[in-house]
Amino acid sequence: MKVTMAVNDQEATSEVEPRLLLVHFLRDVLGLTGTHWGCDTSNCGACVVWLDGIPVKSCTTLAAMADGHAVRTVEDLDAGGSLDPVQEGFMQEHGLQCGFCTPGVMMTARWLLDRVPDPDEATIREAISGNLCRCTGYENIVRAIRWAAEHGRTEEMTA
């Protein structure tokens, strides 16, 4: 089947199998390898991207379900040429180690901050509870998101 979607504001059209997962469409068809594949069962969140402005786990979303919709991936976070405050926060607060979970967590964090610009620790922890990280013990991820909240821009980022 043919799918067409806006990926990071660029139109992408491709002939795909109906069963193709969105994560594989992004990675293998479009070459956007920043989105990772970690568990197949929606538990780890390494594959989180935005579908029409809402974070989804692209390992359990079909490419077909994104047909006619807008997808945003980690590659778009610094679209303006400068790092998103979330990216900057992850660097400043050592919010990443191996970097594998990082794109998914950052996409979740950006979504949170667009809705709750000044979240407390408990709100942050709840928001990222669908993203597993094996390296950081979450402490510095929470600090990174707080950093972004304190230094962040305020305009609405949703599609």
Residue 48 binds to other proteins (criterion: CB under 8 A): no
Of 118, 120, 126, 150, which one interacts with other proteins (CB under 8 A)? 126
CB 111 within 8 A of CB 126: no
Pairing label, strands 10-15, 48-51:
unpaired
Residue 38 binds to other proteins (criterion: CB under 8 A): yes
Residue 63 binds to other proteins (criterion: CB under 8 A): no
Q: Which is nearer to other proteins, 54 or 98 (CB)?
A: 98
Residue 73 binds to other proteins (criterion: CB under 8 A): yes
Residue 124 binds to other proteins (criterion: CB under 8 A): yes
Residue 30 binds to other proteins (criterion: CB under 8 A): no
Q: Which is nearer to other proteins, 78 or 118 (CB)?
A: 78
Pairing label, strands 54-57, 48-51:
antiparallel
CB of 68 to other proteins, least distance (A): 23
Residue 90's nearest CA partner among 73, 78, 79 is 78
Q: How far is CA 70 from CA 11, 14, 51, 98, in A?
A: 9, 15, 6, 29
- Gap between the Cα atoms of 58 and 47, Å rounded: 5
The b/e string for 118-145 (b: 16+ C-beta within 10 A; e otherwise) is ebeeeebeebbebbbbeebebebbbbbb
Of 12, 30, 136, 147, which one interacts with other proteins (CB under 8 A)? 136
Interface residues with other proteins (CB under 8 A)? 17, 19-20, 24, 27-28, 31-41, 43-44, 46, 73-75, 77-78, 83, 87, 90-92, 94, 96-103, 106, 121, 124-126, 128-142
